Structure 1
Amino acid sequence: MTEITHRFVRSGSGLRMHVAEAGEGPLVLLLHGFPECWYSWRHQLTALADAGFHAVAPDQRGYARTGGPAEAGRYSILHLAGDAVGLIDALGADRAVVAGHDWGAPVAWAVAQMRPDKVRGVAGISVPHRPRSSGPPVEAMRRLFGEGFYMVRFQQPDVPEAELGRDPAATFRRMFYGVSGDGPASPMIAPEGGGLLDVLPEPEKLPRWLTDDDIATYVEEYAGSGFTGPVNWYRNLDRNWELTAAWHRAPIGPPALYIAGDRDIVAVGARAAIDSMTDFVPNLRDTVWLSGCGHWTQQERPAEVNEALLAFLRSL
Structure 2
Amino acid sequence: MDKKNNSVDFPNPTMISVNGIELEIFEAGKQNKGKPIVLCHGFPENAFSWRFQVPKLVQAGYHIIIPNQRGYGKSSCPTEITEYDIEHLTGDLIALLDHYEYEKATFIGHDWGANIVWSLALLHPERVENIINLALPYQVRGEKPWIEWMEEIFGADNYFVHFNRQVGVADAILNENKFQFLNNLFRKNVPPAIPEPGMLMINLARAEQPLGEPIMSDNELAVYVSAFEISGFTGGINWYRNLDRNWHLLTDINPIIQHPTLMIYGEQDMIPKLENLKDFVPNVEIISLDCGHCIQQEKPEETNQAILKWLQQ
Q: In structure 1, give the amino acid aligned to 2:185.
A: M
1:16 aligns with 2:55: no
2:241 to 232, 235, 244: 235
User: Which residue is 1:132 aligned to?
Assistant: 141
| 1:188, distance to aligned residue in structure 2 (A) | 4.8
Residues in 2 aligned to 1:187 and 1:21: alpha-carbon distance in whole angstroms: 37
User: Which residue is 1:259 aligned to?
Assistant: 264
1:214 aligns with 2:212: no
Identity of aligned residues (%): 36
Give the ranges of 4+ consecutive aligned residues of structure 1 lying more than 6 Å apart after TM superposition. Answer: none
User: Which residue is 2:301 aligned to?
Assistant: 303
Output one character per residue of 1:185-224: Cα deviation in whole Å (capped at 9) or x when no partner: 7625128xx94327866337743x4111111111111111
User: Which residue is 2:255 aligned to?
Assistant: 250
| 1:113, distance to aligned residue in structure 2 (A) | 1.9
Q: Specify the SS of the correspondent of 2:199.
A: coil
What pairs with 1:1-316 in structure 2 (closer than 5 Å)?
4-11=11-18, 13-24=19-30, 25=32, 26-155=35-164, 156-177=166-187, 180-182=188-190, 184=192, 187-190=196-199, 195-197=202-204, 202-203=209-210, 206-207=213-214, 209-247=215-253, 250-266=255-271, 269=272, 271=273, 273=274, 275-284=275-284, 286-291=285-290, 293-315=291-313
User: Which residue is 2:5 aligned to?
Assistant: none
Residues in 2 aligned to 1:70 and 1:170: alpha-carbon distance in whole angstroms: 26
Residues in 1 aligned to 2:307 and 2:300: alpha-carbon distance in whole angstroms: 10
Q: How many residues align?
A: 301
| 1:39, distance to aligned residue in structure 2 (A) | 0.7
User: Which residue is 2:3 aligned to?
Assistant: none
Residues in 2 aligned to 1:151 and 1:205: alpha-carbon distance in whole angstroms: 24
**In 2, are the aligned partners of 1:103 and 1:127 still within 8 Å (CA)?**
yes
Output one character per residue of 1:82-122: Cα deviation in whole Å (capped at 9) or x when no partner: 11111111122121000110000010011112212111101
Q: TM-score, normalised by structure 1?
A: 0.89
Q: In structure 2, give the amino acid aligned to 1:104.
A: G
Output one character per residue of 1:208-255: Cα deviation in whole Å (capped at 9) or x when no partner: x411111111111111110010011111111111111121x5211111
Output one character per residue of 1:2-55: Cα deviation in whole Å (capped at 9) or x when no partner: 7623211222x2221111121124110000000000011111112211111011
Structure 2, unmatched stretches of 5+, are 1-7
Residues in 1 aligned to 2:210 and 2:39: alpha-carbon distance in whole angstroms: 28
Residues in 1 aligned to 2:244 and 2:116: alpha-carbon distance in whole angstroms: 15
Structure 1, unmatched stretches of 5+, are none
Q: TM-score, normalised by structure 2?
A: 0.90
Q: Specify the SS of the correspondent of 1:93.
A: coil
Which region of structure 1 is more displaced relative to structure 2, 98-107 or 215-224? Answer: 215-224
| 1:182, distance to aligned residue in structure 2 (A) | 4.2
Superposed CA RMSD:
2.1
**In 1, are the aligned partners of 2:39 and 2:65 still within 8 Å (CA)?**
yes
Which region of structure 1 is more displaced relative to structure 2, 2-11 or 120-129? Answer: 2-11
Q: In structure 2, give the amino acid aligned to 1:111.
A: L
Residues in 1 aligned to 2:92 and 2:38: alpha-carbon distance in whole angstroms: 12
Q: In structure 1, give the amino acid aligned to 2:307.
A: L
Indicate how the Cα distance of structure 1 residues 28 and 132 shifts in structure 2: closer, same or farther if over 3 A, else same.
same
Q: In structure 2, give the amino acid aligned to 1:167.
A: N
Which region of structure 1 is more displaced relative to structure 2, 1-10 or 36-45? Answer: 1-10
Residues in 2 aligned to 1:246 and 1:204: alpha-carbon distance in whole angstroms: 44
| 1:183, distance to aligned residue in structure 2 (A) | 5.4
